[in-house]
Amino acid sequence: MSLFLIAALPFLGALFPALLIRAGRNASASSAGLATGLAFIGLMLHAPAVMRGEVIHVGVDWLPALGLSANFFLDGLGFLFATLILGIGLLIIVYARFYLSRQDPMGQFYTYLLLFQGAMVGIVLSDNILLLLIFWELTSLSSFLLIGYWKHLPEGRQGARMALTVTGMGGLAMIGGMLILGHIAGSYDISVILQNKDAIQSSDLYLPALILILIGAFTKSAQFPFHFWLPHAMAAPTPVSAYLHSATMVKAGLFLMARLWPVLSGTPEWFYIVATTGLITMVLGAVIALFKDDLKALLAFSTVSHLGLITMLLGFGTKYAAVAAVFHIINHATFKAALFMSAGIVDHEAHTRDIKRLGGLRHLMPVTFAIATIASLSMAGIPPLNGFLSKEMMLDAAEKTSWLSSPYMIAGLATFAAMFSAAYSFRYIAHVFLGPKREDYPAKPHDPGFGMYASPALLAVLVVLIGLFSAKLVGPLVAASASAVIGGEKLPYYSLKLWHGFTPALYMSVVAVLGGLVLLSLHRPLERVWNALPRPEAKVIFDAIVSALTGLVQGLTGRLHDGSLTRYAAIMVSFTVAISLYAYVTGTIGLPTRPMQEAGVMPMVAWFCLAMAALCIVVFHRQRFVALILIGIVGLIVSMSFNYLSAPDLALTQISVEVVTIILMLLALNFLPKETPVETPLFTRMRDGAIAIIGGLGVGGLIYAMLVRDFAFPTISGFHIENSYKGGGGTNMVNVILVDFRGFDTFGEIIVLGIAALVIFALTEAVLSTRVRAYLLNRKPDLEQAGDSHPGMMVVVTRMMMPVALMVAAYIFFRGHNLPGGGFIAGLVAAIAVIMQYMASGFGWATERQRYPYHGIIGSGVLIAAATGLGAWFNDQPFLTSAFGYVHIEPLNEFEVATAALFDLGVFLAVVGAVMLALESLARFAWQPGTDSEHAIEINPARDAAAQDMKEV
């Protein structure tokens, strides 16, 4: 089975549980189990090759220019973690089917679980760090959904937010570190990065990359000081806790450290950061776990401790410690998943997880007692269970490692942590299952059905079998995965046996077990001392930091994002000017290479009129009608300038847009006050004026610098000039660019134009349903109105011009591919012709004669343009590639036919529809069916609420 399919199956499977829940809980659970099971089987098909030391690669280039490839690879380490993720995931699915109540949305649960599972599988199989980062963030998001699954619990919602915040922040840091790592190695493929140890460790960027990557790994694996989020994640359902602690989420950080071990380890920085962090986490988690009364909290802090143990082993940087870390990952997954599921059984049956309210359950729940005892003793490191083997290897590695020239520091602290680990493991057995039966259980405890204890029972069996037959059962897997961790080098000597003779590790283990028994016997007095000690509460600190950061961000956002467009513009322009000035001062610019051309009299007059019109807009901008006239003057001069500079297409477009815009804005201004009130103080206006002058001078200087210098590199305009005819079949370069070279841009623009018209329609539709429209129809005009709303002369002239204008639009449309024109200009000309009918004869008269809805015209234009683009696919060409040829039909001369004409037709229809829909939407404010625009709707003048509404609007 392809690695692509193995990685995709959980995501594909996530589609079905929520759908099949209507068929029953069994159907929903079965669909989730089927997807996981198929992925697990597909993974096992690669087991023989992986055990032989082969590495399986598969991938496709996605965005090779950015180094982003969808590459997967499977080696021993990836196989180990994928086996744990899918294997334990299958057991969790079975367990959850019987654990969740009928009130819990099971389909939703399995969907979240499979998304989480797929993200984890993606992490361990990824061969590209950018792809790995995507899956990494998906684990944070999907775990957020799982931890907060019980939305009615405040602690569940807070635990989910805490996990997302901590792991998300760590993920952001890790993104920076991984990008630096890829930059050093010259590739973003992990398989390539792993072959560049010397280049990476000798780089000046090694330490920044290491720190950033480790922040991501430590936050995900709950290492000190980021360990506090993991216990709060226990508000999730027990199946989530069991999965998260044993095979997923927290193991992602361990996987990342193990994956990058060949290139990052072996340096003092790696040793002191990773080993020290792991050691502190191991000790701190073990001590806290002993004094937790909640079963899941005890197990959560025990997980923190064991994660620290594995991190410490990876931090030692020796091959033997790496083997021990891999072996303990396997063992921890088996006994910790069994322990969490047994805790869930106790909670499910006794209705409490409080250890002080439990005890004596061995008499009432013998099966659960046996499972929990086996798993707890393995966690304590008692032979002949698997936890004993990896604990011995850990103590052996610790005894051989010095810290700051001290040969006893790490060994002593490791033994101390192992002693507390044994103590809380013994407490889990003694205080929950041993002792006399009680009469005050919240509910009468009893063993559940087989469906609920089958999964932890199987894991308990594995705990025993691995302990007794580790060399045969997991020996090859440990060897293959450890070989991948150390970079394929020769494995050190190690032995997965129960007895290695009288060694220092054995003595340390005996001390830890005996010390654990002593701690258990002294638990009550020690607990009183523990409760009396002042100690910081991580939750309180986290809440305070989040609250402070939230207040800071809200204050900053409130000052910057206050809804003032002038402030936004001032900030943007100031920043642009600043970085431009920096670039000018620090950069170099050559001498001018082009002479200045002489300016004629007419261009100077046009420039003077343009400058004066722009200046008058600034001075008279509060008088809206005057400002609109001045804007029209600016547009007219700009279109004349385009024509003077041999750009007739742009001139036609500009003048057409000006006409349509002026008409629509005149219609909009009809419903607004004639003057804009003064809204900003004098200082702000002076500040904005200064910024505008500086920005304008800067843009003018940039334009001047470009005009008097030649380009030392080929320009895009040169490419278009050379390829316009032979590539697009047209001599009108502007039109060819719009419908061929940049046809996708034009396609997006007509979609945006249509959306804008629909938004105008939606807004006016909403307003027309209020009393505002009644106020508009009954308002008193500021100036005296003409007596004739529809002059006969204008009516006659516009109706005579209609066919002529449409003919001109058609002419401009068909000549556009080779001469000035095209669909956009033709659409504006046709829209002007129709607008004139509305202006001359009235909205009601024109609407009654409208045959096609403007919404449909917009949609037709977009669909025609899309269909034209899709047609290129059938000829194995990129989207919107045009085809052209020449046709001769008697008695006509030979003429060109291009598929771009169909695309231009789509542009034409979209432009006409958008302009007319906007016009219709605005005109409806002053018209209703069955009335003329001058007829008012009768309302009570005494009621001025509508007028007040309008003022507020």
Alpha-carbon dihedral angle through residues 203, 209, 214, 215, given to the nearest 10 degrees: 150
State yes or no: pLDDT of 200 exceeds 50. Answer: yes
Q: Which is more confident, 861 or 769?
A: 861
- d(CA 489, CA 474) in angstroms, rounded, equals 20
Mean pLDDT of 254-279: 93
Q: What is the mean pLDDT of residues 248-257?
A: 90
434 found inside a domain: yes
Q: What is the pLDDT of residues 591-649, one digit of tens each?
A: 888 888 887 888 888 889 989 998 898 888 888 888 888 988 898 999 988 888 888 88
Region 440-463: mean pLDDT is 90
Domain annotation covers residue 128: no
Contact 903, 865 (CB under 8 A): yes
Token readout for 723 is: 């390829």
Global confidence as pTM: 0.71
- Of 494, 521, 548, the position where a domain reaches its end is 521
Number of structural domains in the chain: 2
DSSP β-bridge partners for residue 623: 675
pLDDT at residue number 598: 81
Residue 110's pLDDT is 93
Q: Rounded distance, CA 228 to CA 301, Å?
A: 9
Q: Helix 206-220 vs helix 154-185: angle between axes, to the nearest 10 degrees?
A: 160
Mean pLDDT over 215-230 rounds to: 90
Q: Is the pLDDT at 892 greater than 70, yes or no?
A: no
Which has more confidence, 677 or 781? 677
Q: Could you tell me if residue 212 is inside a domain?
A: no
Kindly report the CA angle at 211 between 205 and 213, in degrees rounded to 5?
95
**pLDDT tens digit sequence for 493-528:** 888 888 877 888 899 999 999 999 999 999 999 989
C-alpha to C-alpha distance for 350 and 366, rounded to whole angstroms: 14
Does residue 940 surpass a pLDDT of 70?
Answer: no
Q: Which domain holds residue 849?
A: 731-953
869 in any annotated domain: yes
User: Is residue 95 a part of any domain in this protein?
Assistant: no
pLDDT in tens, 327-346: 999 999 999 999 999 999 99
Task: Give me the amino acid identity at 290.
Answer: L
| Contact criterion met (CB below 8 Å) for 184 and 202 | no
For residue 602, give every residue at least 6 positions away whose Cβ sits within 8 Å of its Cβ, in sequence order, or none.
644
* pLDDT score for 947: 40
Look at residue 297 and tell me if it is in a domain: yes
Q: What is the mean pLDDT of residues 776-780?
A: 67
Last residue of a domain, one of 505, 521, 537: 521
pLDDT of the residue at 939: 36
**Of 462, 489, 521, which residue sits at a domain end?**
521
In tens, the pLDDT along 141-180 reads: 999 999 988 888 888 888 888 888 899 999 999 999 999 9
pLDDT tens, residue by residue, 543-584: 888 889 888 988 888 877 777 777 888 888 999 999 988 888
Average pLDDT, the chain: 85
CA angle 871, 736, 888 (to 5 degrees): 70
CA-wise closest residue to 275 among 232, 219, 236, 318: 318
Residue 603 lies in a domain: no
- Asked if the peptide bond before residue 891 counts as cis, ω within 30 degrees of 0, the response is yes
Q: pLDDT tens for residues 703-735?
A: 888 888 887 777 777 787 888 877 777 788 888
Where residue 933 falls among pLDDT bands split at 50, 70, 90?
A: very low
In a domain, 903, yes or no: yes
